[in-house]
Amino acid sequence: MAIIFVIIAGQSQAQTGHSLSDPELSGNGAINIVVSSLDENEGNNYFSEAERNERNGAYDEALTLFSKAAFEYNSAKQFSRYGSALMRLSNVHYLLTHYTEAEQVVLNVALKNYSKIGSRTGQMESYAQLGRIYLASNKLTQSMWFYTQQGILARQIGSSTANIESVLGIANVKIRRKEYVMAARDLNKAEVMAKSANTTQFKTQIREARSLIPVKKLKS
């Protein structure tokens, strides 16, 4: 929760303008540009370090660095990058099975940021992340809802990849609910969609999901 507090504090600072990047305090547009650039560069440095730590399995350090990157991007008013840092922060929490923290970063900060800047892609990715988090924490009704919202936005913006991910997510929810026949239909649908999109990236996911469905349940 401390990391979330830091992010929200950074957001409040940007909104109230208590920094040199506020033109009213700096009195010089050039200073505003320079400070914003420094904040953005700092954010980039933190983000790169965070990615390196995540790849190496140093998740606690990655959490700290993604949080710092988010703070700097928010200070520089780079809200798209701010959202990306938040999503990566949430994902590290997810990898650590900190599902409440992963949920809160997306639901209370990232999703609001993407809504504010009008990024439907960001909103779609937030819905997908929440679908994953709720599935992992066995909150199946919520997971189904967010995967469905992901699919709706995916179709609106024409993202076949995200649409397939949505169908697969819904199938996994149904498997968890032991709704095997309906899950199998969704997996068949995802397979057809993947072939139509000429992609093989979902082949393993589809195969693994099918392996969770008892064959006798499909024959009964």
- Asked if residue 183 has pLDDT above 80, the reply is yes
Say if residue 88 is in the same domain as residue 167: no
Question: Which pLDDT score, from 0 to 100, does residue 6 have?
Answer: 52
Let me know whether 203 and 111 are in one domain. no
End position of a domain, from candidates 118, 135, 154 = 118
What's the number of domains the chain is made of?
Answer: 2
Domain boundary among 74, 89, 118: 118
CATH number for the domain that contains residue 4: 1.25.40
33-89 residue pLDDT tens? 444 677 789 999 999 999 999 999 999 999 999 999 999 999 999 999 999 999 999
| Residue in the structure block whose two tokens are 């779609």 | 124
Burial call 168-191: b when 16+ CB within 10 Å, e when fewer: bbbbbbbbeeebbeebbebbeebb
Domain interval for residue 151 = 119-220
- In this predicted structure, the answer to whether residue 124 has a pLDDT above a threshold of 70 is yes
Residue 97, number of CB atoms within 10 A of its CB: 10
Q: What percent of the chain has pLDDT over 90?
A: 79
Amino acid at 96: L
Show the tokens assigned to 126.
Answer: 């937030």
Give the per-residue pLDDT at 205: 96
Shared-domain flag, residues 207 and 124: yes
Are 135 and 177 found together in one domain?
yes
Last residue of a domain, one of 64, 91, 118: 118
Same domain for 63 and 135, yes or no, is: no
Q: Residues of 120-153 as b/e, b for ≥16 C-beta within 10 angstroms?
A: eebbbbbbbbbbbbbbebebeebbbbbbebbbeb
Predicted TM-score (pTM) of this structure: 0.83
pLDDT score of 24: 33
Residue 190 pLDDT more than 90? yes
